[in-house]
């Protein structure tokens, strides 16, 4: 991080300064349950590096890490929602991005829940 910017909430979770419901962790990624879920299953897959603000920066700067985010999202979807899921990256404030530390939203239905439709977009 450059300048005097404060660490993002995700950096603080990664550093264990803020508690979270962690569902996966590797050397380069952490995945947590969203505290304000927009679907029965709503997980966030977060690179541990704060270097990239959004998915566009991540794709340009480290496509291998982006591929790892997507593979992890698929694995988590297999485990938590039968392998069918919506993967959302918000890029920019007007697109709903509130934390400027790249992260993917994994949205899916849980056991016995209703199917997600096109109208049920996560933020």
Tally of domains within the chain: 1
Distance CA 103, CA 73 (A): 11
118 lies in a domain?
Answer: no
Checking if the pLDDT of 110 tops 80, the result is no
- Intra-chain end-to-end CA distance of the chain, in Å: 25
Categorize the per-residue pLDDT at 113 as very low, low, confident or very high, splitting at 50, 70 and 90.
Answer: low
- Residue 43 sits in which domain range? 9-108
pLDDT in tens, 82-103: 999 999 999 999 999 999 999 9
77 lies in a domain?
Answer: yes
Which helix (H) or strand (E) segment holds residue 43: the answer is strand 41-47
121 lies in a domain?
Answer: no
Checking if the pLDDT of 114 tops 90, the result is no
Residue 104 exposed, middle or buried by CB count within 10 Å (0-12, 13-18, 19+): buried
- Give percent above pLDDT 90 in the chain: 84
Instruction: Clarify whether 80 is annotated catalytic.
Output: no
120 lies in a domain?
Answer: no
3 lies in a domain?
Answer: no
pLDDT in tens, 66-77: 999 999 999 999
87 lies in a domain?
Answer: yes
Distance CA 96, CA 107 (A): 15
* Global confidence as pTM: 0.87
CATH number of the domain where residue 16 is located = 3.30.428.10
115 lies in a domain?
Answer: no
Closest Cα to residue 29, out of 74, 80, 60?
74
pLDDT confidence of residue 2: 44
Active-site annotation holder among 42, 80, 101, 103: 103
16 lies in a domain?
Answer: yes
């Amino acid at each position: 991080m450059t300048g005097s910017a404060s660490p993002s909430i995700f950096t603080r979770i990664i550093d264990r300064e803020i508690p979270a419901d962690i569902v996966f962790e590797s050397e380069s990624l952490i995945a947590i349950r969203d505290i304000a879920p927009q679907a029965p299953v709503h997980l966030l897959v977060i690179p541990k590096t704060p270097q990239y603000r959004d998915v566009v920066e991540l794709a340009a700067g480290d496509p291998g890490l982006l591929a790892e985010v997507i593979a992890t999202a698929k694995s988590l979807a297999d485990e938590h929602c039968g392998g069918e899921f919506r993967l959302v990256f918000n890029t920019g404030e007007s697109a709903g991005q509130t934390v400027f530390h790249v992260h993917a939203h994994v949205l899916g239905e849980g056991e016995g829940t209703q199917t997600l439709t096109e109208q049920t977009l996560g933020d």
